[in-house]
Amino acid sequence: MPEQPRSRRQTRAAILTHLLQSGGSFRPPLAKAVRLSEASLSRILFDLKAEGLIEEVRRPAPYVGGPTGLVSLDGSVALAALELNSQWLTLGVGSLSGEMHYTERLPLPKKPAMETVGRLFHEALGLLRDWTRRRRITLAQIGITIPGLGRLSEFGNPIIPCDVEQIGDMVAELFADVPVAFTNSVVAHATFHRCRTEDYPFSDAHLFVFVGQGVAGTWMGDPIEEDALQPVELGHMVFGTGGPRCRCGHHGCVEAYTSLPALAELLRVGEAELLQLGSEWVTTIPLTSRMRQELHQRLFRLGLAIGNTLNVKPCRGVVVSGWPSLLSEADRKAVIDGIDACLLGGRTLAQVSLAFVPPSTGNDPQAALAFAAFCLASRGGMPAASTEAA
């Protein structure tokens, strides 16, 4: 099938997202990766450099034909990140490559309400404005992540009560010309892994599944397309109406069996204690054989949920991040068995490969920063409102 012609925005997006995900590239492999002649690439790089989005260092290439320029994203582009979780609102300013220049953490009240969360955002945005103003820094993008931000209505039903529209208005008031994008935490963590994990397992379309406070996924598509990141609510697949109650109000959702709170209950530890142990829990908390059996059953259900998702929308790759990634290969096999048990034709016939990546929680606002970087790169570094024909 002949390829669709790309618009100028898409060609620039292909270059910038490739640089974001690779961390930098010499010209010949970059031209190949984004399917451009070196002459065409040269013209676009000239523009991107003039706009301060990329930089190029003359460096001997590690192959015949060097020296050439090592192209990377410009380190002086400043992005702002705000990441909300059940404990804090963390704000920060950082670079396209993930370097943090400033972070501040504001604690959430014990029982957050729409109003108090709104005030917290107001305080955070004020700090951000003061910090950037003092240093005469102009932000290129603001990325904001909110747990459970829904896909059904743009601003629907977050897990922590907050009025996203109102927060959007505050941003518009304080940072009039800066593009702002909201997403849910899982989409942001998926973006973080794709942009910052060395040797990330997939470069083409795949499903990213995160198992933490909740269970959710993201379809990771072609970064130059509008629908490059799409939330998938696979955590609320119901496995028996007599099962444990889920925070969504239903009973027996896969999330009610496999989220961190459910895991804490199974391990008979407090959720806070489990969070504090982080990845250490695997070696610190002893499992009875009954616990392990139950754990395998739950992981099997997680596998079923993933397999069912792939039955609906097939794709070749799945990345699982979160607590299951910390388990031994023998324990994780239950996830694979679950996928095999429901995926039509099984995993081998469907040619699905599965990779586990470590959880990325506790590093906020790195996920929001990666999301901001992705937003800027995927719109080709062009103004947010710019619309153009292909």
Residue 108 or 238 having the CB closest to Zn ion: 238
CB 214 within 8 A of CB 148: yes
Nearer to Zn ion, 248 or 277 (CB): 248
Closest alpha carbon to 88 in 62, 69, 71, 110: 110
User: Is the distance from CB of 326 to CB of 279 less than 8 angstroms?
Assistant: yes
Least separation in angstroms between CB 240 and Zn ion: 12
User: Under rule CB under 5 A, which residues in 210-239 are in contact with Zn ion?
Assistant: 236
Instruction: Identify which range of 11-19, 113-121, 240-248, 327-335 contacts Zn ion by CB under 5 A.
Output: 240-248
- Shortest spacing between CB 248 and Zn ion, in angstroms: 3
Site string for Zn ion, 82-111 (x = CB under 5 A): ------------------------------
Share in percent of the chain as helix, strand, coil (round to 5):
45, 20, 35
Who's near 201: CB < 8 A, 6+ residues apart? 317, 319, 353, 355, 357
At closest approach, how far in Å is the CB of 214 from Zn ion?
9
Q: Which is nearer to Zn ion, 305 or 335 (CB)?
A: 305
**Residue nearer to Zn ion on the CB measure, 14 or 186:** 186
Query: Strand 25-26's sheet: what is its strand order?
Result: 25-26, 68-73, 54-59
CB of residue 189 vs Zn ion: minimum separation in angstroms? 19
Minimum CB distance to Zn ion smaller for 77 or for 234: 234
In the bound state with Zn ion, the residue whose beta carbon lies nearer, of 24 and 252, is 252
- H/E run at residue 152: none
Beta bridge partners of 318: 207, 354
CA distance 165 to 174: 15
For residue 213, the minimal CB distance to Zn ion (Å) is 13
> In the bound complex, what is the minimum distance in angstroms from residue 233's beta carbon to Zn ion?
9
Strands 139-146 and 78-84: parallel
Q: How many residues bind Zn ion (CB under 5 A)?
A: 5
List the alpha helices (DSSP H) in the chain.
8-22, 27-33, 38-50, 114-134, 164-174, 185-196, 254-258, 260-267, 271-277, 281-284, 289-312, 329-342, 346-349, 366-378
Q: Which residue, 19 or 253, has its beta carbon nearer to Zn ion?
A: 253
Q: Provide the 3-class DSSP secondary structure of residue 356.
A: strand
Q: Write down the least CB distance from residue 150 to Zn ion, Å.
A: 13
Residue number with CB closer to Zn ion (11 or 258): 258
Question: Would you give the binding string for Zn ion spanning residues 243-282, x where CB under 5 A is met?
Answer: ---x-x-x--x-----------------------------
Question: Which range in 18-26, 132-140, 242-250, 358-366 contacts Zn ion by CB under 5 A?
Answer: 242-250
| Widest CA span in the chain | 67
Task: Report the nearest approach of Zn ion to the CB of residue 236 (Å).
Answer: 4
Chain residues binding Zn ion by CB under 5 A are 236, 246, 248, 250, 253
